[in-house]
Chain A
Amino acid sequence: MTIDFALDCGIALLVLAVAGWTIVARASFAAVVGFVSFGLLVTLAWVRLAAIDVALTEAAIGSGLTGALLLGAAARLRSNETAKQAEVPGAALRIASALLAATVAATLAAAVLLLPDPAPTLAPAAAANSGATGLGNPVTNVLIAFRAMDTMLEKVVLVLALVGVWSLAADRCWGGMPSPPRGADSGDATAFLAQLLTPLGIVVGIYILWEGADHPGGAFQGGTILAAMWLLVMMAGLAKAPAISRRSLRLVLIAGPAVFLVVGLAGLWFGAAFLAYPVDHAKAVILVIEFVMTLTIAVTLALLLAGPPDREASP
Chain B
Amino acid sequence: MSATVFGLCGAVAAGLGLYGVITDAQLLRKILAFNMLGAGVFLFFGVVARRGAAAGFAGDPVPHALVITGMVVAFAATAMAVALLLRLFTASGAATFAADTTSADSDSTDT
Contacts and interface: CB of A to CB of B under 8 A. Distances in A.
B75 A62 contact: yes
B23 A139 contact: no
B62 A23 contact: no
Say what secondary structure dominates the interface of chain B: helix
A218 B71 CA distance: 14
B52 A105 contact: no
Say what secondary structure dominates the interface of chain A: helix
A311 to B, nearest CB: 14
A23 B46 contact: no
B7 to A, nearest CB: 3
Given A94-B23, A112-B11, A141-B61, A51 B76 contact: no
B82 A70 contact: yes
B9 A139 contact: no
A230 interface: no
B32 A165 contact: no
Interface string A169-192: 011000000000000000000000
Interface of A: 4-5, 8-9, 11-12, 15-16, 19-20, 22-23, 28, 31-32, 35, 38-39, 42, 45-46, 48-51, 53-54, 57-58, 61-62, 65-66, 69-70, 72-74, 76-77, 80-81, 84, 87-89, 93-94, 97-98, 100-102, 104-106, 108-109, 111-113, 115, 119-124, 126-128, 138-139, 141-143, 146-147, 150-151, 154, 157-158, 161-162, 164-165, 168, 170-171, 218, 220, 297, 301, 304-305, 307-308
20 contacts: A5-B1, A28-B26, A32-B32, A62-B71, A73-B86, A80-B94, A100-B19, A101-B22, A104-B15, A104-B18, A106-B15, A109-B8, A112-B10, A112-B11, A123-B59, A157-B76, A168-B83, A168-B84, A307-B82, A307-B86
